Amino acid sequence: MSSITLIGTGNMARAIGTLAVTGGNTVEVMGRDQAKADNLANTLGGETTTGKWGTVPAGDIVITALLYDGVVPVVAEYGDALADKVIVDISNPFNATFDGLAHGEETSIAQEAAKIAPVGTSVVKAFNTIFRNVLEKGRPNVFLAGDNAQAKASVVAFIESLGLRALDVGGLKMAHWLEGMGLVTVGLAGNGVGHWDFALGVDEFTG
């Protein structure tokens, strides 16, 4: 089983945290608002603990469940406290009209976080293509991208502990296109699918 720290106390932290506790993982919550962190830890139950904002996370895997524009500043603020951790960026940097990425370049929040993360820290993009409500009630595929094979293996093990299928799309450069998949998912919700109770996945036709 994995030990994870959730940085952030919102909807995705609750959804991933709930699955993580059910899957038998060790969970710590950190929030810039300590009261929100304490509340979430109570809600998640089990042996969930809280940590003090900005200190070394207890988890080997640190999930930044933050709005996209908070991820890089928070990774910078934590600095060496994140040394040797595996950071999982779940963010969707959508523009105001949900038809482009806010950074407007062929990069991603995960790549930008990796640039400023301490030496020895790996960044993996995952979970961003899945709506929170689907994580709460479904068994969606989880796409991930990252450069470090060992870090990805640990994230894959964590995802599988949640009862979900992990699908590696390649190196961290692919995080940009996972962010694009996030946009496609929102586009489908507003158009072709017409609701939010679905997730993108892979069907294999090997027979």
Footprint of ligand NAP (CB under 6 A) = 8-13, 31-33, 36, 65-68, 70, 73-74, 90-92, 128, 130-132
Between CA 20 and CA 180 the distance in angstroms is 26
CB nearer to ligand NAP: pick between 194 and 207: 194
- Nearest one of 103, 80, 83, 82 to 92, comparing CA atoms: 103
Closest separation between CB of residue 103 and ligand NAP, Å? 13
CB nearer to ligand NAP: pick between 40 and 172: 40
* Contact yes or no for 122/87 (Cβ under 8 A): yes
**Sign of the alpha-carbon torsion through 20, 181, 109, 124:** positive
Strands (E), the chain: 3-7, 26-30, 49-50, 61-64, 86-89, 122-126, 141-146, 165-168
Closest separation between CB of residue 123 and ligand NAP, Å? 14
Closest separation between CB of residue 94 and ligand NAP, Å? 7
CB nearer to ligand NAP: pick between 66 and 156: 66
Closest separation between CB of residue 205 and ligand NAP, Å? 28
